[in-house]
Amino acid sequence: MTSTLDQLRSLSVVVADTADFQAIEHFKPIDATTNPSLILKQAQSPVTEELISKIREQVASGVFQSLSEATLDLSIRFGFEIAKRIRGYVSTEIDARLSFNTDAAIEQAQRIIHQYSGLGIPKERILIKLASTWEGIQAARALEAQGIGCNLTLLFCEAQAIAAANAQATLISPFVGRIRDWYIAKGEAPSSVETDPGVLLVRRILNLYRRHSVGTIVMGASFRTADQVLALAGCDRLTISPGLLQELETRTEPVKGLSRSASSGGELTEIDRDTFLLQISADPMATEKLADGITRFVKDQETLESLLIN
């Protein structure tokens, strides 16, 4: 009997949300996404002990100008190993401390692409992950104009999705699970996956993009349950943790894809900075989760830096 995971693959591009090389080899995703938290988790694994030791030696000998530079090099080396195991995109994240600095984010993105190129990985295989702040989205606009693909992450509302479409971002990552977490913390747990606010947001964005023929890829992310994933079968891409991939591999129930909205052929109205910020501020969930997501990534980045000097 065909597994639920294999059925899902026929409806959406399956992406591995991990820096675990062994999991990537097992599940054979098309793409893979990483972030500071996933890199930190894998950096503490015995599988990557040799790589971490090498970076520590280089830090100690003064090869890098800063710990930030060393952790960036580590992320790219993880990405290089992942790229050897898949045939699609590898997403590598900009330092979260640059989430409100457009120029610095662009500079670091260009450095990432240059380093990947030196390892033989062309820029067409790399997506630069940027937080969906106004500054991050403007960095994506500039990078896309240079032919550098971007993945706008930490996306929690339609204002971010519209601004990302205006910037012609290659891909956006709405965070399904973190949205659900916020509502549960407020005592408003959804009664079913069909009322899950994270699932519903992704469906609204998909419909919006399809109605207006937006080319930006929608990739559901940050799933808490396999049922959340299945509720978005038919979404362009779904980035899924190894634990949920394993569960989907063992399940066999039929998978029904999302219905598709007809295109109107019109373009989305350009959203300016003031409107963007006003709409974000009017959405407590988006405001809190965007700030929380950046803060968490900064903390994990700093923990990863400390790991390289111990």
Amino acid occupying residue 106:
I
Q: Is residue 265 very low, low, confident or very high in pLDDT (cuts 50, 70, 90)?
A: low
pLDDT attached to residue 47: 78
Tokens (6 digits) for 150: 């971007």
Rounded mean pLDDT, 174-179: 98
Convert the pLDDT of each residue in 235-261 to its tens digit. 999 999 999 999 999 999 999 999 876
Number of compact structural domains in the chain = 1
Regarding predicted confidence, which is higher, 178 or 46?
178
pLDDT attached to residue 259: 81
Helix H segments across the chain? 4-9, 21-27, 36-43, 49-60, 67-83, 102-118, 134-145, 158-166, 176-185, 197-211, 226-231, 242-250, 273-281, 284-307
User: CA-to-CA distance for 279 and 74, rounded, in angstroms?
Assistant: 36
126: Cβ contacts below 8 Å, ≥ 6 apart: 79, 89, 90, 91, 92, 112, 113, 116, 148, 149
User: CA-to-CA distance for 104 and 95, rounded, in angstroms?
Assistant: 10
Residue 216 has pLDDT above 80, yes or no: yes
Residue 264 has pLDDT above 90, yes or no: no
**Active-site residue set:** 129
> Is 99:294 a contact under the CB 8 Å cutoff?
yes
273-288 CB burial, b ≥16 within 10 A, e <16: eeebeebbeebebbee
Supply the pTM of this predicted model.
0.95
Rounded mean pLDDT, 187-215: 96
Of the listed ranges 61-70, 145-154, 173-182, 288-297, the one predicted with least confidence: 61-70
User: CA-to-CA distance for 297 and 95, rounded, in angstroms?
Assistant: 8
User: CA-to-CA distance for 71 and 55, rounded, in angstroms?
Assistant: 9
Residue 310 has pLDDT above 70, yes or no: no
Regarding predicted confidence, which is higher, 260 or 156?
156
Percentage of the chain lying above the pLDDT 90 cut: 90
pLDDT attached to residue 260: 72
The Cβ of residue 215 has, within 10 Å, a number of other Cβ atoms equal to 9
pLDDT attached to residue 44: 86
Convert the pLDDT of each residue in 22-67 to its tens digit. 999 999 999 999 888 999 898 888 878 888 899 999 999 999 999 9
Mean residue pLDDT across the chain? 95
Which residue(s) pair with 91 in the sheet? 33, 127
Burial class (CB in 10 A: 0-12, 13-18, 19+), 307: middle
User: CA-to-CA distance for 290 and 310, rounded, in angstroms?
Assistant: 31
Convert the pLDDT of each residue in 81-110 to its tens digit. 999 999 999 999 999 999 999 999 999 999
CATH of the domain at 148: 3.20.20.70
**Residue 195 DSSP one-character state:** G
The residue range of the domain holding 170 is 4-307
The gap between the terminal CA atoms of the chain, to the nearest Å, is 49
pLDDT attached to residue 132: 98
Rounded mean pLDDT, 124-145: 98
